[in-house]
């Protein structure tokens, strides 16, 4: 039971991570402020590493 | 103006992408690196952990079980390394046994990587090296440096509070991934619980008489340079402590008895849930101290750190620490000699459990020669004698 719950939560976690990554990429493309764009780039790093299951 | 903004934006994004690529490659490289081991020509069999319980089949923790059977009736000893993968002398001592052992009476079983998952990543925020190496006559032998607990890539999320099975003891949340807090395991639990259950099945099915779990500890921690023993092993443990302290080691090896209310550790649960007498050996590892300086492979292998040494001068440590540090050969030699002495003393106390063996260097030989001469070149060894952990 616990194994199944963990699996479901893990799957949902990756969906949420993907959602936030898409949202960050979207605001990155839209913004005209260079400083904000740099900030969005840095924020993307952990999301990308998680989605690729590297960290 | 807009073009210039876009150039800066996407230029920076390209730099970040490169950083992600490099970091990702480094993480992945450690995750998939496998350690070659050249088994002794006297090995009997190499099994998988899933041969004892198929709940770990196909998982990263389905480790190798190296079995040396003399064919002569006697006792059975199991040696365990890398229960905590950030304590590397366990895996080095186990490899020394696997590559050189010839058992002449009884059986010895070696499990090099109890928590393989934990050895595929390092502890976040600690700046650990990803690998450590030992110089040999044929080149460098390389191992993964790990974390204390399993990787979240293999078991996640953790509970708010980890409730140990079957005792019900409440432990810290991350200990659900700590193999030395999950014994005797749970067959339908999370990966670490299943791993410990499979290892308990191995101990029970193989009729193991003694287990020895190799560990290291920071010098600020009181359980240091010590063997912790289950009450079944109190007599042997006390004798081993006295003999090694008086005859062999420069720094005493003390003995402590496994607390009956502290659950999840090998020295308690293996003794309680099998016929085996359980031992756990600790040796000083300055790299684990919170007050250490630069955390690199040099510190890991030399065991020399000026901040830890300074703490020692002020009497703040539970272990002596001077400019000689705690070099890896001394730490490995203590573990190897402790294993030898436990088998020797146990054989005198329990004549039906005698284990004798050859090929393993003495404490003094390891101090004199270092660890390098006792590891063999996988590139020139026969393919059927090379295994990967």
> What average pLDDT does chain B have?
97
- Specify the DSSP class assigned to residue B175: G
- Residue B293 in any domain: the answer is yes
Angle of CA points B89, B95, B96, to nearest 5°: 90
Binning pLDDT at 50, 70 and 90, where does residue B189 land?
very high
What is the SS3 assignment for B120? helix
Transcribe B200-252 into DSSP letters.
Answer: HHHHHHTT-SEEEEEEEE-TTSSS-SEEEE-GGGHHHHHHHHHHHHHHT-SS-
Q: B236 is written with which tokens?
A: 């042997």
- Cis previous bond, B129, omega within 30: no
Instruction: Specify if B342 maps to a domain.
Output: yes
ipTM score assigned to the predicted complex: 0.92
Note whether A45 contacts B9, CB cutoff 8 Å: no
- Show residues of chain A in contact with B13, CB under 8 Å: 28, 37, 41
Q: Give one DSSP letter per residue of B13-80, joined into a string.
A: HHHHHHHHHHHHHHHHHHHH---EEE--TT--EEEEGGGT-GGGTTSTT--EEEEEE-SSS--EEEEE
Q: Which two tokens stand for residue B98?
A: 């696997």
- Work out the minimum CA distance from A2 to partner chain B, whole angstroms: 7
B210 min Cα distance to partner chain A (Å)? 32
Q: Is B64 part of any domain?
A: yes
Give pTM, 2 decimals.
0.95
| pLDDT per residue as tens digits for the range A7-24 | 999 999 999 999 999 999
Cα distances (Å, whole numbers) of residue B22 to B15, B37, B264: 11, 29, 38
- What the block records as the tokens of B306 is 């000026």
Closest Cβ–Cβ partner in B9, B23, B190 for A49 = B23
Q: CB distance from B157 to chain A under 8 Å?
A: yes
Element (H, E) at B308: helix B306-313
Q: Is the pLDDT of residue B2 over 80?
A: no
The CA-atom distances, in angstroms, between A55 and each of A50, B118, B121 are: 6, 13, 8
Which are the contacts of B109, defined by CB distance < 8 A and separation ≥ 6? B65, B66, B67, B68, B76, B77, B78, B79, B202, B206, B208
Domain ranges of chain A: 2-51
Inside any domain, residue B4:
no
Could you tell me if residue B17 is inside a domain? no
Mean pLDDT of B83-106: 98
Test the A interface: residue of B8, B10, B21, B24 with most A CBs within 10 Å: B24
**What's the pLDDT at B3?**
84
Q: What is the mean pLDDT of residues B112-127?
A: 95
CATH of the domain at B187: 3.40.630.10
Question: Can you give the pLDDT at residue B15?
Answer: 95
B270 contacts B215 by C-beta, under 8 angstroms: no
Q: What is the pLDDT of residue B299?
A: 97
Q: Closest Cα of chain A to B296: distance in Å?
A: 21
Q: What percent of chain B has pLDDT over 90?
A: 98
* Domains: count for chain B: 1
Give the model's confidence band at B99: pLDDT under 50 very low, under 70 low, under 90 confident, else very high. very high
Interface of B with A in 93-122 (CB under 8 A): 121
- Residue B365's contacts (CB-CB under 8 Å, 6 or more residues apart) are none
Contacts of A42 in chain B (CB under 8 A): 16
Q: Does B27 touch chain A (CB under 8 A)?
A: yes
Give the whole-angstrom CA distance, residue A9 versus residue A13: 6
| Residue B9: predicted pLDDT | 92
B352, with CB counted inside 10 A (0-12, 13-18, 19+), is exposed
Which residues of chain A make contact with B31, given a CB cutoff of 8 A? Answer: 54
Q: Averaged over B296-317, what is the pLDDT? A: 96
* CA distance linking residue A7 with residue B18, whole number of Å: 31
A–B CB contacts, 8 A cutoff, strictly below: 59
Asked whether residue B149 is assigned to any structural domain, the reply reads yes
User: Residue B176 pLDDT > 70, yes or no?
Assistant: yes
* CA–CA separation, B82 and B84 (whole Å): 5
What's the N-to-C CA distance of chain A in angstroms?
A: 26
Contact B27 A55 (CB under 8 A): yes
Nearest to B24 among A13, A31, A52 (CB): A52
The confidence score (pLDDT) of residue B1 equals 62
Structural domain containing residue B241: 33-380
Averaged over B262-290, what is the pLDDT? 97
Least Cα separation, residue A3 to chain B (angstroms): 6
Q: What residues of chain A have any CB closer than 8 angstroms to a CB in chain B?
A: 1-3, 6, 9-10, 13, 28, 31-32, 34, 37-38, 41-42, 44-45, 48-49, 52-55
Query: Under an 8 A CB cutoff, do A37 and B13 touch?
Result: yes
Angstrom distance (rounded) from CA B387 to CA B97: 14
B8/A37 Cβ within 8 A? yes
């Amino acid at each position: 039971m616990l194994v199944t719950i963990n699996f479901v939560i893990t799957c949902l976690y990756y969906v949420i991570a993907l959602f936030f990554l898409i949202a960050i990429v979207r605001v990155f493309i839209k913004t005209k402020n260079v400083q904000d764009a740099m900030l969005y780039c840095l924020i993307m790093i952990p999301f990308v590493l998680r989605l690729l299951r590297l960290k | 103006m807009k073009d210039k903004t876009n150039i800066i934006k996407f230029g920076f994004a390209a730099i970040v992408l490169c950083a992600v690529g490099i970091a990702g490659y480094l993480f992945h490289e450690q995750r998939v690196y496998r350690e070659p081991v050249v088994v002794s020509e006297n090995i009997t069999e190499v099994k998988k952990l899933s041969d004892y319980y198929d709940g770990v089949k196909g998982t990263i923790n389905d480790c190798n079980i190296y079995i040396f059977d003399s064919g002569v009736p006697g006792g059975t000893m199991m040696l365990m390394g890398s229960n905590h993968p950030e304590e590397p002398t366990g895996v080095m001592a186990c490899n020394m046994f696997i590559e050189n052992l010839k058992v002449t009476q009884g059986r010895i079983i070696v499990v090099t990587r109890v928590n393989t998952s934990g050895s595929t990543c390092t502890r976040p925020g600690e700046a650990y090296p990803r690998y450590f190496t030992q110089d040999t006559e044929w080149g460098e032998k390389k191992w993964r440096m790990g974390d204390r607990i399993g990787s979240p890539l293999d078991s996640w999320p953790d509970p708010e509070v980890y409730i140990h099975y079957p005792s019900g003891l409440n432990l810290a949340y991350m200990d659900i991934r700590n193999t030395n807090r999950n014994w005797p395991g749970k067959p339908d639990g999370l990966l670490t619980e299943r791993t410990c259950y499979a290892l308990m099945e191995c101990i029970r099915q193989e009729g193991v008489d003694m287990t020895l779990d190799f560990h290291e500890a920071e010098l600020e921690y009181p359980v240091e340079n010590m063997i912790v023993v289950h009450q079944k092993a109190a007599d042997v443990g006390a004798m081993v402590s006295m003999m090694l302290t008086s005859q062999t080691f420069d720094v005493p090896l003390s003995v402590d008895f496994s607390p009956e209310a502290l659950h999840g550790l090998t020295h308690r649960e293996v003794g309680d849930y099998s016929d085996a007498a359980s031992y756990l050996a600790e040796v000083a590892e300055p790299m684990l101290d919170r007050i250490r300086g630069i955390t690199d492979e040099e510190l890991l292998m030399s065991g020399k750190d000026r901040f830890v040494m300074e703490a020692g001068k002020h009497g703040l440590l539970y272990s002596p620490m001077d400019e000689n540090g705690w070099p890896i050969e001394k730490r490995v030699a203590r573990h190897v000699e402790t294993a030898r002495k436990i088998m020797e003393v146990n054989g005198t106390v329990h004549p039906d459990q005698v284990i004798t063996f050859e090929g393993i260097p003495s404490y003094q030989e390891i101090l004199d020669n270092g660890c390098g001469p006792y590891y063999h070149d996988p590139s020139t060894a026969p393919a059927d004698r090379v295994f990967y952990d």
